[in-house]
Copies of this chain bind each other. A is one copy, B any other.
Amino acid sequence: MAADRHSLRARKQPRQARAELTRQRILTAAAHVFAEHGYAAGTTNRIAERARISIGSLYQYYPNKDTILLELVTRHLDAGVLSLKEHRDGDRPDSLEAIMRGYVRSVIDNHLDDPKLLQVMMEQTPHAPELVERMARHEREQVAHTRELLASHPEVRVTDIDVAAHLVVSAVGGIVHQLVAAPRSVDVRRLEDELVAMVTRYLTLG
Contact = CB atoms under 8 A, between A and B. Distances in A.
B170 A1 contact: no
Contact of A182 (B139, B162, B181, B198): B139
Interface of A: 1-2, 38, 40-41, 119, 122-123, 125-127, 135-136, 139-140, 160, 162-164, 166-167, 170-171, 173-179, 181-183, 185-187, 190-191, 194-195, 197-199, 201-202, 205
8 contacts: A1-B38, A40-B40, A162-B186, A170-B178, A170-B179, A174-B174, A177-B178, A202-B202
Interface of A is mostly: helix
Nearest to A164: B194
B163 A190 contact: yes
| Most chain B CB atoms below 10 A, which of A122, A125, A171, A205 | A171
B119 A126 contact: yes
A81 B29 CA distance: 42
Nearest to A167: B194
Given A119-B126, A201-B202, A205-B201, A167 B195 contact: yes
A96 to B, nearest CB: 14
A150 to B, nearest CB: 13
A106 to B, nearest CB: 17
A34 to B, nearest CB: 12
Given A126-B181, A163-B194, 15 more contacts: A1-B41, A136-B183, A163-B186, A163-B187, A163-B191, A167-B175, A167-B198, A170-B178, A170-B191, A171-B175, A173-B178, A194-B202, A201-B201, A201-B202, A202-B202
